[in-house]
Amino acid sequence: QELSSANLRRAAVPTSSTSLPAVVRDLAMSTNKGGGGGKKEVKKETKLGMAYKKDDNFGEWYSEVVVNSEMIEYYDISGCYILRPWAMEIWELLKEFFDAEIKKLKLKPYYFPLFVTENVLQKEKDHIEGFAPEVAWVTKSGKSDLEAPIAIRPTSETVMYPYFSKWIRSHRDLPLKCNQWCNVVRWEFSNPTPFIRSREFLWQEGHTVFATKEEADEEVLQILELYRRIYEEFLAVPVSKGRKSEMEKFAGGLYTTSVEAFIPNTGRGIQGATSHCLGQNFAKMFDITFENEKGERSMVWQNSWAYTTRSIGVMVMTHGDDKGLVLPPKVAPIQVIVIPVPFKDADTTGIKGACESAVYTLNQAGIRADLDARENYSPGWKYSQWEMKGVPLRIEIGPKDLANKQVRIVRRDNGTKVDIPSTDLVEQVRVLLDGFQANLLETAKAKRDACIVIISTWDEFIAALNDKKLILAPWCDEEEVEKDVKARTKGELGAAKTLCTPFDQPDLPSGTVCFASGKPAQKWSFWGRSY
């Protein structure tokens, strides 16, 4: 049986693991035409598997899965990565959702320059302090030195706000709502990781201006809810909404909210997206004022918010397994891959026709289905490749299926197989895709929840930290205490810090004390190591 032999092959590990992506690619793209299962083919198929296991060597596993699934190609500048179609198509699907949602909120598309002068970049002192070490500077064009170095935007507050000051005069010019989809550059030196931490990345950045704090506060949460939906509804990644501590908030802002995910394998929290209320700090520095309805000069309230290609990496880390990627149907570029299984002497024309018909029927119903009709690969090899790429459903059609007017559907997440009549194809595929999407989120949520530990003392905190838990702790909410916790937990794996104070707060009985300072606790906060 094709499937079980494919399963066997998957378990095999290549002999050389040092340059695995290249090995896999070389073989996957081999010109060897040996079709029917000779020695060469077996060798080829043996090498398609993953060299690393998620639970054994998470870092190597992650690099391998993003490369082998053809999402990422490493680039010859450290910290820069090539996003291949398998990643970009996911980015486009997320963008389609998010852009339509923010257009409902009257956001308008802008494009501001990549460059910003030193003078303007430095206007908001806390802001530049936060970003200065990571700024890339252009100092030359052709062979000439520029008169003054020019910065590449690490974010666009300082690029945009001088012009907001120019455009906003009256309360009638408010709210002003800008969004741009673009690249930004943060020349970080620590641990570049595809999607998660790269020197250039893609994002949307929304920048909005209001007459009142109330409007700004409201929008912060509207946007945060969209970010939650991106993670939970699309990427099937459970997140906690919450507020960042003073230490962790956006440089120059008033307060920062975020959706926080957690990677059980590394025991690290990861910031999924942030929605900041900037308050009036930038407005003061950039002189953004308006004449209100009473004819008085008032200062505006501002927000900025962003999510990035990091979201794709969080999804990979959350759902991937030892066979490769697992994609949630809502963002899978291909939701259903159809593979003909032509045994010797079978009606290959009939099988091919049934496959094409299945793809056509699914496409007509708005389901992203594709046919793998390559003749130089065995069905088993194709199974492995599409599993590597994380396609949610595989449809196999062989002679028996043809005779019975049925198709076999195999789920990527749990491997279950079901034979369904061709007449029920669209309906059943829809049910399966919906179930797949829900199952991914539930499974991830169960795993994440199993990592949450509620602690009350320093010793429990350290034990939980060593145990890679997501720690919910009563805290006095003092910056000095967070600094102190950081200092006391410094080490090879990085210090612990607050991830967020979740909006969803457990009871805090009076008399509860801070786990770190012993002072009265003000709130429950998530603590842990983070990306």
Binding region for its own copies (CB under 8 A): 25-26, 29-31, 73, 75-77, 80-85, 88-89, 91-92, 108-117, 120, 132-143, 149-150, 152, 162-163, 166-173, 182-183, 185, 187, 200, 202, 291, 295, 374, 376
> What is the CB neighbour count within 10 angstroms for residue 169?
12
Supply the minimum distance, in Å, between the C-beta of residue 492 and its own copies. 24
Q: Considering only CA atoms, which of 213, 272, 302 is closest in space to residue 500?
A: 272
Closer to its own copies by CB, 30 or 443: give it. 30
Closer to its own copies by CB, 79 or 398: give it. 79
Supply the minimum distance, in Å, between the C-beta of residue 426 and its own copies. 23
Supply the minimum distance, in Å, between the C-beta of residue 160 and its own copies. 8
Supply the minimum distance, in Å, between the C-beta of residue 505 and its own copies. 38
Closer to its own copies by CB, 96 or 434: give it. 96
Provide φ and ψ at 470, rounded to 5°.
-95, 110
Closer to its own copies by CB, 295 or 511: give it. 295
Supply the minimum distance, in Å, between the C-beta of residue 287 and its own copies. 15
Q: Strands of 406-411's sheet, edge to edge?
A: 369-371, 336-340, 393-397, 406-411, 417-421
> What is the CB neighbour count within 10 angstroms for residue 315?
28
Burial class (CB in 10 A: 0-12, 13-18, 19+), 486: middle
Give the tokens for residue 51: 């060299």
Q: Measured between alpha carbons, how far is 360 from 356 in angstroms, rounded to an integer?
A: 6
Supply the minimum distance, in Å, between the C-beta of residue 57 and its own copies. 25
Closer to its own copies by CB, 164 or 527: give it. 164
- Look-up of token digits 């880390």: 317
Supply the minimum distance, in Å, between the C-beta of residue 468 and its own copies. 32
- Look-up of token digits 């697992």: 326
What are the strands, taking DSSP E only, across 287-391?
Answer: 289-291, 297-299, 301-308, 336-340, 369-371
Q: Measured between alpha carbons, how far is 259 from 402 in angstroms, rounded to an integer?
A: 48
Supply the minimum distance, in Å, between the C-beta of residue 257 and its own copies. 26
Supply the minimum distance, in Å, between the C-beta of residue 461 and its own copies. 34
Give the tokens for residue 234: 């699309």
Closer to its own copies by CB, 170 or 466: give it. 170
Closer to its own copies by CB, 312 or 354: give it. 312
Closer to its own copies by CB, 133 or 506: give it. 133
Q: ∠ CA(164), CA(167), CA(171), 5° rounding? A: 95
Give the tokens for residue 340: 């003909």
Supply the minimum distance, in Å, between the C-beta of residue 430 and its own copies. 24
Closer to its own copies by CB, 110 or 458: give it. 110
For residue 132, give the H/E element and its range: none
Supply the minimum distance, in Å, between the C-beta of residue 395 and its own copies. 22
Closer to its own copies by CB, 88 or 105: give it. 88
Q: At what angle do helices 20-28 and 39-46 cross, to 10 degrees?
A: 140
Q: Considering only CA atoms, which of 323, 108, 359, 318 is closest in space to residue 234?
A: 318
Give the tokens for residue 321: 């397994």
Pairing of strands 108-109, 176-185: parallel
Q: What is the DSSP string of 23-67?
A: HHHHHHT------S--HHHHHHHHTTS-SS-TTT-HHHHHHHHHH
Closer to its own copies by CB, 182 or 346: give it. 182
